[in-house]
Chains A and B, each alone.
Chain A
């Protein structure tokens, strides 16, 4: 019955099976379903209407795009606290460049400026041998200050371009059902997932995060990999900044304060470990979605902000506790 060719490909199908039954990913997806159902039950069927789902997706993208980079960084055993500041810097840079250039140039400059911040993080971490937490705590303030200086501590007005439409569904029915920004996020998520799973870079990140000494023994160029991952991570944060700009339509150096914590939380809820060596794109996206569902669900239910914070906090602690418990058993 089974063709012979199938037998030869057994290892691969074994993979797929393992991925679907992967308890971590299954756990966080289950959590997402549970949270959605709870709010669905509280609010009613309109919670699942297309417009509402799209609202939640839009809410998710900024955190999600930055969290894609953070997933890679956390997998490698690092952390980046400067993400929120980089998002703010990116909005400012985009707004400034838009005054004199086109939107494509503005987008590229914003992302490039952010990547430079990440490169600096990477250099400081690998050359000074200071732990990432401290380095990025420093650059969090540095970049925030730079953004404020660049913007002269004001909001930067900018002309309206297609960047402003990134998170908007085209009203005339053009476009692909969902806003471009959401499609962009999905595409990036696929790229990062492939990068983690199917490239040497990705396998090296897992090796470094799992045991840096082993990675060194095995000839992984650790400094180079760290430099890469912080640069890419910050570039993605820069792109999240472009999305933020799209939402605000001004460059604001004071925006996204504390965003890094949401981003880290998304990765952790999604099964990432701050000790490194663990994390997945699907998990991270689900983690980001869980937070957005809670946020929107709570506000539509008319629950005050403090309830939302307590629920989110409970979920973060619960996710980590559940993970610990699963490891023990």
Chain B
């Protein structure tokens, strides 16, 4: 597929040199070079957090680089905001499609650049533009009058690409374009990219999936930790080597590991759809699920926790089986940490205490009647977790929104500890938080599954009984942790066993010592199938 490279001019269509970007103390990009020529598809690959998104945000004018130059066809390119980028001919197609579902296809294609005469829309001209763009794509099958929202995700994506072409784009950037497409639609998209390439378009293709990169791109550029970590001609490089460039480092010493003993089965999943998952999680172990974004890991966890419907298969939590709501799961002593901290994990306007205690307000009220809650006791319970986890905040009454990401995550985690659940379902527990909070969360996970599994706040002499009394009259054993992450070093460091999820299917779990970061990435990105 990569043979048909068109004549290459000396000046790249688009280039970035020495681009640097810092956020506070974090260096997101440290002198990155990137270029794409006319008539080629250049893949940009790298693990989560490698700096791909930051680089593309700079290209799209959403972020300003601290240093570095950008040129389009040799001319300086300094977008001040996204509209500048669009006018300069940079078109981004994001994972989440941005069409207006209630408008027609042609209205979407000319959105924002509607041709008018004396303030009146020129419908004939709109139709011409739309038909021309769809013809260029080779998709005359899409009617310009169709309502965009009625189209399939693939069709909507085509409308977005048509919009990019209609606005005269010079660089087309596709960010994980296949994540919402079916297999056949992916095929169609690749054919289309091949055609656009031959027409002389410059295309940047961002993907986690090495098999796709192998198939669709002519060249690839690897980013790692905000730096260039290699590049090459795709057809002359093995998938294995690309993965090697993406990984490129050893495990650090972030992960404490106490002696652990695997106990009774706490969670048994059999042939569960969605996820095609079968596994058993025991007391005293951390079971990891590795996978890239969009692999279906979150959906699997949400189904287990009763947030989404079970299509088929069985879930058993300790002695309970059958359908369950999140309410039931908490009562069955299972708790979940959401990957979407701001949107789902926490009620941001509410206080630390409210967020932390909401699942277990029992015993935080008067002795009678049972439905009462005393804010002072909520605060007392929360204060202890604030001390125990060193959550930096003004006090239990402070709104969660005012805390830093790491401290917010600790509040969300403390909710599971306050409830004293036996099974912890953690979805990307360390995403977007600082290193010291990360280390603390690894430490907590280790304490939970090792020994007594008793992570309690420091007892205050003569303090009121709070959640700890709830825990104290139950049999205390090590906890069971189900951990989803797309950061593989963390999985290898924390887990006892790891299973890989790819394209919506969960593979068998194997001992963490049998895996390497390389092997996980090969499996998760489907590179194994490609090489």
Which A residues lie at the B interface, using CB under 8 A? 8-9, 11-12, 14-15, 18, 197-204, 206-207, 210-211, 213-221, 277-278
Complex contact A217–B371 (CB within 8 A): no
Interface stretch of the complex, out of B11-19, B127-135, B245-253, B376-384: B376-384
B344 located at the interface, meaning its Cβ lies under 8 Å from any Cβ of chain A in the complex: yes
Complex contact B347–A277 (CB within 8 A): yes
With both chains docked as a complex, state the minimum distance between the C-beta of A256 and any C-beta of chain B, in angstroms: 32
Complex Cα–Cα for A18 and B395 (A): 12
Known: A206-B354, A221-B327; 16 extra A-B contacts, CB below 8 A, are: A8-B462, A11-B379, A11-B396, A199-B371, A203-B358, A203-B373, A207-B347, A210-B347, A210-B349, A217-B344, A218-B326, A218-B358, A219-B329, A219-B330, A277-B350, A278-B349
Complex Cα–Cα for A295 and B397 (A): 38
B365 located at the interface, meaning its Cβ lies under 8 Å from any Cβ of chain A in the complex: yes
Among residues 331 to 375 in chain B, which have CB atoms less than 8 Å away from a CB atom of chain A?
331, 336, 338, 340, 343-350, 354-355, 358-359, 361-362, 365, 371-375
Which of A14, A15, A199, A220 sits near B327, CB closer than 8 Å?
A220
Complex Cα–Cα for A203 and B415 (A): 15
Which of A12, A197, A215, A221 sits near B325, CB closer than 8 Å?
A221
Complex contact B348–A211 (CB within 8 A): yes
With both chains docked as a complex, state the minimum distance between the C-beta of A244 and any C-beta of chain B, in angstroms: 31
With both chains docked as a complex, state the minimum distance between the C-beta of B202 and any C-beta of chain A, in angstroms: 40
With both chains docked as a complex, state the minimum distance between the C-beta of B83 and any C-beta of chain A, in angstroms: 25
Minimum CB distance partner of A206 in chain B? B350
B233 located at the interface, meaning its Cβ lies under 8 Å from any Cβ of chain A in the complex: no
B307 located at the interface, meaning its Cβ lies under 8 Å from any Cβ of chain A in the complex: yes
What residues on A are CB-neighbors of B383 within 8 Å? Answer: 11
Complex contact A14–B397 (CB within 8 A): yes
What residues on B are CB-neighbors of A199 within 8 Å? Answer: 365, 371-373
What residues on B are CB-neighbors of A219 within 8 Å? Answer: 325-331, 359
With both chains docked as a complex, state the minimum distance between the C-beta of A223 and any C-beta of chain B, in angstroms: 10
Minimum CB distance partner of B326 in chain A? A219
Which of B336, B350, B374, B379 sits near A210, CB closer than 8 Å?
B350
5 A-B contact pairs sorted by A residue (CB < 8 Å): A198-B373, A211-B343, A211-B346, A211-B348, A218-B358
Complex Cα–Cα for A14 and B346 (A): 24
Complex contact A210–B348 (CB within 8 A): yes
Complex Cα–Cα for A276 and B28 (A): 37
With both chains docked as a complex, state the minimum distance between the C-beta of B259 and any C-beta of chain A, in angstroms: 33
With both chains docked as a complex, state the minimum distance between the C-beta of B196 and any C-beta of chain A, in angstroms: 39
Complex contact A203–B307 (CB within 8 A): no
Complex contact A198–B349 (CB within 8 A): no
With both chains docked as a complex, state the minimum distance between the C-beta of B233 and any C-beta of chain A, in angstroms: 46
Complex Cα–Cα for A213 and B338 (A): 10
Provided the pairs A211-B347, A277-B349 are in contact, do residues A218 and B376 lie with their beta carbons within 8 angstroms? no
Interface string of B474-487 (1 = CB under 8 A from A): 00000000000000
Minimum CB distance partner of A278 in chain B? B349
Complex Cα–Cα for A295 and B67 (A): 63
Which of A11, A207, A211 sits near B344, CB closer than 8 Å?
A211
With both chains docked as a complex, state the minimum distance between the C-beta of A4 and any C-beta of chain B, in angstroms: 11
What residues on B are CB-neighbors of A14 within 8 Å? Answer: 379, 395, 397
Complex contact B307–A207 (CB within 8 A): no
Provided the pairs A200-B371, A206-B350, A207-B354 are in contact, do residues A15 and B376 lie with their beta carbons within 8 angstroms? yes
Complex Cα–Cα for A12 and B372 (A): 16
With both chains docked as a complex, state the minimum distance between the C-beta of A21 and any C-beta of chain B, in angstroms: 12
Complex contact B347–A197 (CB within 8 A): no
| Chain A interface, DSSP helix/strand/loop, else mixed | helix
What residues on A are CB-neighbors of B379 within 8 Å? Answer: 11, 14-15
Complex contact B345–A214 (CB within 8 A): yes
Complex Cα–Cα for A277 and B347 (A): 9
What residues on A are CB-neighbors of B329 within 8 Å? Answer: 219
Complex contact B397–A18 (CB within 8 A): yes
Complex contact A217–B326 (CB within 8 A): yes
What residues on B are CB-neighbors of A207 within 8 Å? Answer: 347, 350, 354, 358
What residues on B are CB-neighbors of A9 within 8 Å? Answer: 376
Minimum CB distance partner of B463 in chain A? A8
Complex contact B380–A218 (CB within 8 A): no
Which one of A199, A202, A204, A211 has the highest number of Cβ atoms from chain B below 10 Å of its Cβ? Answer: A211
Complex Cα–Cα for A94 and B365 (A): 38
- By Cβ-Cβ distance, the 9 closest A-B pairs, closest first, are A219-B330, A210-B347, A211-B347, A219-B327, A12-B376, A213-B344, A11-B379, A214-B347, A218-B359
Complex contact A215–B371 (CB within 8 A): no
Minimum CB distance partner of B378 in chain A? A203
Minimum CB distance partner of B350 in chain A? A210
Minimum CB distance partner of A223 in chain B? B325
Complex contact A11–B376 (CB within 8 A): yes
Provided the pairs A11-B396, A207-B347, A210-B348 are in contact, do residues A216 and B374 lie with their beta carbons within 8 angstroms? no
With both chains docked as a complex, state the minimum distance between the C-beta of A57 and any C-beta of chain B, in angstroms: 30
Complex Cα–Cα for A218 and B338 (A): 10
What residues on A are CB-neighbors of B371 within 8 Å? Answer: 199-201
Complex Cα–Cα for A1 and B347 (A): 41
What residues on B are CB-neighbors of A218 within 8 Å? Answer: 326, 330, 358-359, 415
Which of B338, B355, B373, B380 sits near A202, CB closer than 8 Å?
B373
With both chains docked as a complex, state the minimum distance between the C-beta of B347 and any C-beta of chain A, in angstroms: 4
Complex Cα–Cα for A278 and B348 (A): 12
Complex Cα–Cα for A168 and B362 (A): 43
With both chains docked as a complex, state the minimum distance between the C-beta of A100 and any C-beta of chain B, in angstroms: 37
Which of A197, A215, A220 sits near B375, CB closer than 8 Å?
A197
What residues on B are CB-neighbors of A211 within 8 Å? Answer: 343-344, 346-350
Minimum CB distance partner of B353 in chain A? A11
Complex Cα–Cα for A245 and B371 (A): 34
Complex Cα–Cα for A207 and B351 (A): 10
Minimum CB distance partner of B344 in chain A? A213
Complex Cα–Cα for A206 and B348 (A): 11
What residues on B are CB-neighbors of A278 within 8 Å? Answer: 349
Complex contact B307–A217 (CB within 8 A): yes
Which one of A11, A198, A199 has the highest number of Cβ atoms from chain B below 10 Å of its Cβ? Answer: A11
With both chains docked as a complex, state the minimum distance between the C-beta of B392 and any C-beta of chain A, in angstroms: 18
Complex contact B358–A215 (CB within 8 A): yes
What residues on A are CB-neighbors of B326 within 8 Å? Answer: 216-219
With both chains docked as a complex, state the minimum distance between the C-beta of A24 and any C-beta of chain B, in angstroms: 13
Minimum CB distance partner of B460 in chain A? A8
Complex contact B330–A198 (CB within 8 A): no
Complex contact B375–A200 (CB within 8 A): no
What residues on B are CB-neighbors of A203 within 8 Å? Answer: 354, 358, 361, 373
With both chains docked as a complex, state the minimum distance between the C-beta of A312 and any C-beta of chain B, in angstroms: 28
With both chains docked as a complex, state the minimum distance between the C-beta of A268 and any C-beta of chain B, in angstroms: 17
What residues on A are CB-neighbors of B330 within 8 Å? Answer: 218-219
What residues on B are CB-neighbors of A197 within 8 Å? Answer: 375
With both chains docked as a complex, state the minimum distance between the C-beta of B480 and any C-beta of chain A, in angstroms: 18
Which of B338, B350, B362, B375 sits near A217, CB closer than 8 Å?
B338
Minimum CB distance partner of B355 in chain A? A214
With both chains docked as a complex, state the minimum distance between the C-beta of A287 and any C-beta of chain B, in angstroms: 20
Minimum CB distance partner of A327 in chain B? B349
Complex contact A198–B374 (CB within 8 A): yes
Complex contact B372–A198 (CB within 8 A): yes
With both chains docked as a complex, state the minimum distance between the C-beta of B357 and any C-beta of chain A, in angstroms: 8
Which one of A8, A12, A14, A217 has the highest number of Cβ atoms from chain B below 10 Å of its Cβ? Answer: A217
Complex contact B373–A15 (CB within 8 A): no
